[in-house]
Every structure is written in structure tokens, then in C-alpha cells.
Structure 1
Amino acid sequence: MSRTEDCLIDSDQDTHPDHEANTGSLSQIYIRGYYNMKKMLLSAAAFAVVAVSAVAVAPTTSEAIPAFARQTGAACLSCHFQTFPAINAFGRAFKMGSFTDVGEQALVEDDNLSIPSVLNATVVIRGNYTNTATTGLTSNGAWAVPSETPILIAGRIGSNSGAFVEFANGGAGAAAGVTVGNWQFINSFDMGGFKIGAGMHNSGFGGSAIMEVSNVFGQHSGKLAGGNLSAINAAGFNAATIGAGMWVGNEMGNLQLSLVAPQAAQGTNVGLKFARLVRGVLTTELGGFDTLIGFGSVTGTAGRPATVPVGGVAGVGPVPMDLLFVDVQAQGEIGDMSLGIYGDFANAKGKTSTDAAAAIPNNFYGGAAAGGKFDAWSLRAELKPLHNMGFGIGVANNKLTSGVAGTIATKVATTQVAAFYEIYQNFEINLIYNSAKTSGGGTVAAPAVGTTTNTTTIEFEALM
């Protein structure tokens, strides 16, 4: 089957009897409309083939996994931008539809039942070689083959519900146990021109993982290791958390209200003591670029006091969780090339737990104690001049003022360049060079010596 057929954008399919039952499928409607628009704009057939290969190739998933491709019948790059795991408008629509959209895959259906006829799963094979050189230290080169081999199970649970579950494996060897890593459970319903949803998660995708569509940070920021630069990630927003909440959205954006807590609080006396998260995203078009402008806020504390009440159970908190951030992304084309631009800013005020027994001196986000603060920003650009090759460059800065008297703020300035080559849509090789210069730190009486750490990584990732 050709890539065009894989992407379900062949115009002949509009009248094919095998597709009549699925003409209302969300992914197909978006993809056909997009392809028809491109046909009108492109004048040469050869150029059209390149455009379909380089632009209309982006999968229907939050992780670009073949499990979703099997369910929808769409190629891995029909809902992603440039390469996985970054998503485009099609991917956002599929995710807000709770991973329920299907293509030609048969369904098992009955009263109150609608699931794929087979369990859609993906095995991920990752490996890398990393060389690290730090000022004053001997360079270190380490192989990790495989670095991990997670199993991902994802897709439709019912007509309005879907899930993503990752069974994580730490790498090679019998000692590398298998655990449940990241998981998301999403439900959504149509109401007027909106999707209304609710869900929960336990993941390292970020506190807003119930419905996050940004490629700047979190779950979808892995393209060319962009997440390494993200200010929001640097503040610890991608630390393991649990959360539950509600959201409303459409093609113009979404708004989410959630309750979040550190993953470590699971199974302890958390009660209903969660921090509160508000996340808003505006999606528009500026200068021909698909543009996303977002903001986020986490306030409050999580967990009941660690001091054991009489006849009670000790909690793990209260854990201070305060963070403010904004993020911007623009994705589009310049000539024959696709270009993505991503930037963010994060600020976390210093906080200390009000319960001394909790022994939590710092804010969960940013790591500053009361009286201190964490600030960070990043900017990166990623260019894909060929349908199977891309390049990226970015810079980031963060500053941590601890809040402890007599200490000096620590600053980290990072520069990163990267490249990827796709052997297949589901198999790529990445080369990443990251240079992080640390200055400041220590105390006024004994300032720390600045260091520079240069890290070079070559990695492969294949999804079965």
C-alpha cells in the first residue's frame, strides 16, 4: 500500500464502498480537506508528492505509536508535525476525541460496547551512545543498547473513551523490571461546537497531561530532544504527578481545570488535598503558521500534613506546588521546507512546607525555598528541508535563587543543536549535542567554580 493510501488521503476513497461507513471519521475528514487544499495550491505533480511525504505525514497519536495507526488506518505521519511525537491540528483533534477515531479496523460492537477487534499495542526499541565531558573531569562514554523497551497499549475503550498505557522497561538484562510507567484515561463528548472532557493520569508528561496539546514541553516535546531546553520542563513540570480534571475545547483551543499531586503521594493519606491547575490554550493562524499560545498556573499544596494526628494516618505534605508559565509555538512551511518555532517562560516562587515533619524545604516546581525563586526561558527552531531529515537549534537559560541567606544564585545557559534521519516513519536516528554552562552557586564566602558540560548523544528509536 502506498503512503498516500496509508494516509487515507486518496481522493478515490471518497466513493470506495469500503470507506462509506467511515466518511464521518474525524481524522479522515480533516486529512481529506487538508489534501484537497494542498492540491489546489501546488502546481507540479512532483512537488505534490514531496509535499505529501514531508507535510501530510504525521500520525494519529499522542506518541506517534503504531497502535494508533493500526486503529485509525492512517500512516504514522498523518497527525504529527515533522516527526513524532510532535502533533499537528489532526493530532490535536484525534487526542481531543479521546483516541476513539477509527478507520477500517473492525469493531466489536453491542449495546454499550464498541472496541477494536484486536488489542492495539506497540513495542518501542530505543538505544543510544552518550559521551559526556565536564570541565575538570575525564570525559565519559556510555552505551545503552537498549536503553529501554517499553510496551505501549493505546486506543479506544468505548465510543467516547480512550486510554494510553505504557509498561516501562529500564533496559537490557533480567534485572530490568517491568512496571506501569505513564498512563492516561480520557473521556470526551460533543456539545455544540465543543468537546467536553474529563480524565485522569499518572505520568511524567506534566501536570496538564489530561489534555495537553503543546509541542513546547511535556509529552509531545521529544522531537529533536526539544524537551531538554523547555523552561517549563526545567521547572520540573514534567516530574511524575497524578491528576484528575475536566476540559473543554475545539479547533480554536482548550481550557483545563485539574487537581494535581506528586506521584510519590499516591497510596498515602492525600485525601482531597491537591494543588489546583489551570491550563489554557489558544490555537489560531498567524502568517500562514499554525500557532498555539498557552498559559498555565499551578497553585496551592498537595497532601495532608506529615505530622500524625491522634489516631490518624500521616500524610506526605503539605507539598508546595506553585508555578506560572507561558508557551508559544508556530508550525508551518517556508517554501518546500517545514519549520517549527517553540518558546516558553516559567516562574516558580520559593515555598517551604508549613509542616516541619514533612521535611520539604522547597517548592515542588523550581526547587526554591521560601524567599527564593526560579526563572527560566527557552527558544528553539526546527527545520525539515527533506521529507526524512530535519535539524534543530535552540537556547535556554534558567536561574535559581535558593532563598537561603548568603547563597549566590545559580545560572545555567544551554545551547543545543540536533538532527534526525527517518529510515521509516516509525524508525529514526537522532544526533544531539548539548552544551550547558553553569555559573554562580555556592555562598558569598565560598563561591562555586563555574563548569561547562558538553553532551553528545546518538540514538535510535524504532516502534513496532
Structure 2
Amino acid sequence: MTLKKTMLVGASCLSLMALSSPQEASATPVFARQTNQSCAACHFQRFPLLNAYGRSFKANGYTTVGKQGTIEDNNLSTPAILNAGLVSKFRYQKTNGTADTELNAGQFQVPEEAFLSIGGKVAKNIGFQAEISLVSPASIVGFKVPFVFPASKDITFLTVPFYTDAQGAAFGYELLNTGALRFSRAFEHRNEASAQQYIGAAHQTTGVALVAQHKYGYLSYTPYLVKDVMTDGIAFSTGRPLSYIRGVVTPEKVGDWDLAAGAQIWTGSSAEGTAAAPTRNHAAAWAIDAQAQGKAGDMPLGVYVAYGSAAASKAGQTANYFNASTVGSKNALTIATELGVVPNRLGIGVAYRNANSGAGAADNDNALTLGANYQVARNMVFQLNHSFYSGDVKTDAAGKQLTTAMFYSAF
């Protein structure tokens, strides 16, 4: 499918949906059912982007309960109903390369994701979130239990043990929409719109996030282990963990604008396995990011900026799992913005990436991404992304353009 045909198909889909009668907004599952509030209470423009209230809900460990009944007893306060939802993602992807590959021919990824999401309050100041994949083989793909310790009106401490199959150390605790956490981003093309995702922040990980949360930001330290699927099999090796440090500032609003900025550091070498091979993983990367969420006239506007860098691996030593190259560092600067041209219904966006893969002198890897999304309902989104690549890394054989049409639903 050519770019022209792809854009015509996408435009036709958007036009037909825009002409259809508006549907009543449905709530995102699980936490919407628990709080009895619409998705719009926690999300900016659309799911999964968090607004200030959504950050506060997460900082309180998913324990806020609305009109939903609870079972109360000595040392017991839990919802009467286990909140659940079905989440799925269907995608079509195509590159324009000359090589005879499935992606150049076009791929229907059905489903690209499908999982049962459950979560909510466990007890007073204790919540949980779990994701169970429905794609064979079925497994738990994400799990966390935030323990919340209120210290004062403005200060809260959290301890969050977690496991994730692909979200990385930030899965334990993350509140921004810059792609610091793989799932929390504006564009489906994550590596093209998020510097953190480009340098490789998403891994199969287990750890414990230790968080100090204030109304003006938070600081977290997360000791964690990364799973080497090839050598660890079904279990994580024990030993000295790696370290992830995250700091974020969330000042008061400036006019109608909600602002936030932060920094991330991944560091350390894990001591795992046997005495003959004690080190399995090494981390050396950092990132800074910022976001602004407000309005341009009457239209919601989100702007997300990030810069990330992963150091080159040292010859003869354990490779940096962010960057296996021993030649140069892997770097990326990304700027992504999304404008709600029809608020809570139709959004358009653009993202730009200036990057170096770390391969050496000819390692420039830039990308320009155009995006559009249409909310069929609050919890059903059609998204179209198209990326143009320039620089040294992408070849004519692999393709210098990528098109993705994605339908996301959660109910």
C-alpha cells in the first residue's frame, strides 16, 4: 500500500466516524469502575495520557473508591467487586522497503496485544494492578502492589514491588507521558516519539520502587533485575540488582498549563548466576524529559520533549544492555505534540526524532512522524501513524517509511 493510499484509507475512516452520531463516553475499565468516574477524570485528551488528577490517583496506590461498595471489618477494607477489563490492540503495519519481507509486504497483527486487566484497592493504603495476557502462551505480563504510607498532607511514601514482561524499571512508578514508561506515550510509534524508548528503556524486569511523593514532584529509587530470556529461562537469577533513579517536579499550574519535568538514571552491574559467570547485565544510560499539557484556544494541546543517552559498551566487559556497540553512545532527542482539533474526539500530532544509533560515524537515525487519532468512544481509539526516516541507519531494502493503523479498546 502506498503512502497516498494509506492516507486516503485513514482519512476515509476518520471521516465516516466523524459523521456518525456521537456515542456516550464509556469509562476506561478497572479504575473507572472502582471510582465511578469517566476516563476524562484521570486522562488528558485520551487514554493512557495522565492529567494531574490521574497522577494523584496513581500516587495514592489506586486506592480511591467512589460509590462502589466495600467490605469492611477489622483490618479489612476491600471492594465488594473485583474490577476487571479486557484490553486489546489490533494493528496493521507496513514499511516501503524493497526487500522481500513480511513487514514490507504489510502485516496484520491480530491481536498485537490482548490481556485481562484487573486491579484496585486491596486494603487501606494498599492497591494492585495486574495484566494477564490472553495471547498464547497465557501469562502474567504485568503486576504491581503499591503500599502507601501517608506522612503528611503533602508527603507520601510508597513501596511498590512489581514485575513486567516488557515495560522496564519505570513500570514500578511513573507519572509522565513522555515515554519514560513504554506504555505512557502519545504515539504508537514509540521509538520515533520517545527518546527513552529509542535508547532501550523497555525490558523484562522485576524490582521494588521506593518512592517519596510530594504534591510538587517525586523521587524514586528502584533496585531491579533484568531477565536474560536466552540464559535465565523462566526465572530471574538472584544477586546484586541494577539501580534505577527517577526524579520529577510537578509545579503548580501556570495559567491553564500543567507542567512537569524530570530525569532518569539507569546504572550498575548485576552480580548473578554462577561464580564462573557472575555478571549478567550492565546498565549505563540516562534521560531528561518534560511535558506541558494545556490548551491552544479551546483545543487541548500536549507537548512532550525528551533526551536520552546510553553509553557505549566497553570491549572485553559486560555489554551495556541499552547499547551493545563499543564504538559510540546511543543518543536521541524527541519532540512530540498532539492537538485535539475536535476535543475528546479527534486529535492530530507530529513528532520528530534526531538520533544516533551508536554504530559509528554513519549512525544518524532521524525520523518525522505524523499521527491522527479518533476516539470512537472514551475507551476505544483508532490511531494512524506514519514515519519518514532519514540519515544513515535505515536502508532502501528495509524501508524508509513506516505506516501503522491501530485500533485500541478497553472495556
| TM-score (norm: length of structure 2) | 0.85
Measured in 1, the distance between the counterparts of 2:345 and 2:236 equals 47
Q: Secondary structure at the match of 1:225?
A: coil
| Distance apart, 1:352 and its partner CA | 4.2
Unaligned regions of 5+ residues in structure 1, if any?
A: 1-52, 60-64, 171-175, 309-313, 442-447
* CA distance in structure 2 between the partners assigned to 1:410 and 1:450 by the alignment: 17
Q: Counterpart in 2 of 1:191? A: 151
Contact 1:188 1:196 in 2 (8 A): yes
Gapped regions of structure 2 (runs ≥ 5): 1-21
- Pairing of 1:4-403 with structure 2 (within 5 A): 65-135=28-98, 139-170=104-135, 176-192=136-152, 193-203=154-164, 204-217=166-179, 218-225=181-188, 227-228=190-191, 229-264=193-228, 267-271=235-239, 273-284=240-251, 285-286=253-254, 288-304=256-272, 306-308=274-276, 315=278, 317-352=279-314, 360=318, 362-369=319-326, 372-386=328-342, 387-402=344-359
- Superposed CA deviations along residues 324-355 of structure 1, whole A, max 9, x for unmatched, are 11001000012110000001011111234876
SS of 1:423 mapped into structure 2: strand
Q: Verify the 8 A CA contact 2:162 2:206 in the aligned structure 1.
A: yes
Structure 2 residue matching 1:344: 3-state secondary structure? strand
Q: Deviations over 1:258-294 (max 9, x none)?
A: 11221336735422x1112211000123453111110
CA contact (8 A) 1:431 1:458 kept: yes
Using the TM superposition, give the Cα deviation of residue 458 of structure 1 relative to its aligned residue in structure 2, in angstroms.
Answer: 1.4
1:431 is matched with 384
Name the Cα RMSD after superposition: 2.5
Question: Could you say which structure has the greater relative contact order, defined with CA pairs below 8 angstroms and 6 or more residues apart?
Answer: 2
After superposition, what is the alpha-carbon deviation per residue over 1:109-158, rounded to whole angstroms, capped at 9, x for unaligned? Answer: 11111111011011113212222212555731122333332111111111
Offset at residue 177 of structure 1 (A): 1.9
Q: Is the 1:439–1:451 contact (alpha carbons within 8 Å) kept by the matching residues of 2?
A: no
Instruction: Quote the residue 1:463 is aligned against.
Output: 410
TM-superposed CA distance for 1:450, in Å, is 8.7
* Change over 3 Å in CA distance of 1:449–1:463 after alignment to 2: closer
Asked if the contact 2:363–2:393 (Cα under 8 Å) also holds between the matched residues in 1, the reply is: yes
> In the aligned structure 1, how far is the partner of 2:182 from the partner of 2:48?
8
Equivalent-residue separation in structure 2 for 1:395 and 1:58 (angstroms): 32
The answer (yes or no) to whether the contact 1:162–1:187 under 8 Å persists in 2 is yes
Number of residue pairs aligned between Structure 1 and Structure 2: 376
1:296-347, CA deviations, whole angstroms, 9 ceiling, x for partnerless residues? 1121112326543xxxxx65x2411011110010000121100000010111
| Deviations, residues 358-417 of structure 1 (Å, cap 9, x unaligned) | xx5x21113333x53111110011000212111110011221334xxxx54422111111
Q: Pick closer, same or farther for the CA change 1:181–1:353 going to 2, 3 Å.
A: farther
Larger Rg computed on CA atoms: 1
323-332 vs 179-188, which deviates more? 179-188
Over the matched positions of the two proteins, sequence identity in percent amounts to 26
Find the aligned partners of 1:325 and 1:425 in 2 and give their Cα distance.
32
